[in-house]
């Protein structure tokens, strides 16, 4: 019971952390819609990876393993009832300043709508259009059916299209889709 907490692959974990943490943080930011919540999510995921590093380091694709852990952690976080409380609090602190100046109007509008989507839809479109995973890969990663991936994705896209009727860059062909 009293085994000391030591890094099984100490150097290796640190090297991986330095190289890949920002990728996890970017995905977590898009999943949660908020930098602070994302940081918390990433840290919990990293801690759990650290505890299992002996196993994780032998995985075929450590990055894919980490991404799956992150999404699973996100999924269990949104299921927890306390999440609602946490989210309300998380929305109150200052948004990071760097966001503000570089944002142009259209991106801000799209991003705002994305953050209001249900978590499952958001997860699917982030994995699809940011991580560039295939629908089959997303189904496997999230443990849901291919049909659910398609329906969640098309719902999210329908919501966006309906919310941006006059977006200057959305071409007319959209109407026929």
Partner 1 sequence: MTVEDLLTRTFSEVTETTDYPSTPTATVVARARAIRGARRRRVALVAAAAVVAVAGVSAAVSLQHDHDSPPQPAGPLGDLPQGAAPQVDYIDGDTFVSNLHLRIYEVDGQAMVEDMGSTNGSFHNGTRLHGAHLLHPGDRIQVGYTVLEAQ
List residues near partner 1 by CB under 8 A: 1, 5, 7, 13-14, 17-18, 21-22, 25-26, 29-30, 35, 39, 42-44, 46-48, 50-51, 96, 98-99, 102-103, 107, 110-111, 114, 125-126, 129-130, 157, 160-161, 164, 167, 169-171, 173-174, 177
Q: Which two tokens stand for residue 151?
A: 């329906």
E-assigned strand segments in 75-164: none
Place of tokens 């991106």: 107
Shortest Å distance, C-beta 69 to partner 1: 13
According to DSSP, residue 94 is labeled P
CA gap 177, 171 in Å, rounded: 11
Task: For residue 70, give every residue at least 6 positions away whose Cβ sits within 8 Å of its Cβ, in sequence order, or none.
Answer: 24, 27, 28, 31, 41, 42, 45
Minimum Å distance from CB 58 to partner 1? 19
For residues 153 and 139, what is the distance between their CA atoms, to the nearest angstrom? 12
The residue (of 27 and 139) whose beta carbon lies closer to partner 1 is 27
Nearer to partner 1 (CB atom), residue 47 or residue 59? 47
In angstroms, give the least distance from the CB of 64 to partner 1. Answer: 19
Nearer to partner 1, 25 or 87 (CB): 25
CB of 94 to partner 1, least distance (A): 14
CB-based contacts of 116: which residues, under 8 Å, 6+ apart? none
The rounded Cα 50 to chain-centroid distance in angstroms is 20
Closer to partner 1 by CB, 32 or 139: give it: 32
């Amino acid at each position: 019971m009293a085994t000391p907490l030591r890094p099984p692959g100490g150097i290796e974990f640190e090297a991986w952390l330095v190289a890949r943490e920002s990728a996890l943080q970017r995905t977590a930011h898009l999943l949660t819609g908020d930098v602070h919540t994302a940081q918390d999510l990433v840290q919990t995921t990293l801690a759990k990876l650290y505890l299992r590093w002996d196993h994780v380091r032998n995985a075929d694709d450590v990055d894919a393993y980490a991404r799956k852990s992150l999404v699973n952690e996100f999924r269990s976080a949104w299921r927890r009832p306390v999440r609602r409380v946490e989210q309300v609090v998380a929305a109150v602190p200052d948004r990071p300043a760097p966001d503000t100046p570089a944002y142009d109007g259209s991106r801000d509008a799209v991003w705002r709508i994305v953050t209001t989507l249900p978590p499952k839809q958001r997860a699917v479109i982030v994995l699809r259009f940011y991580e560039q995973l295939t629908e089959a890969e997303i189904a496997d990663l999230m443990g849901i059916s291919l049909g659910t991936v398609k329906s969640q994705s098309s719902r999210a896209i329908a919501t966006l299209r309906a919310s941006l009727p006059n977006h200057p860059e959305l071409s007319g062909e959209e109407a026929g889709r």
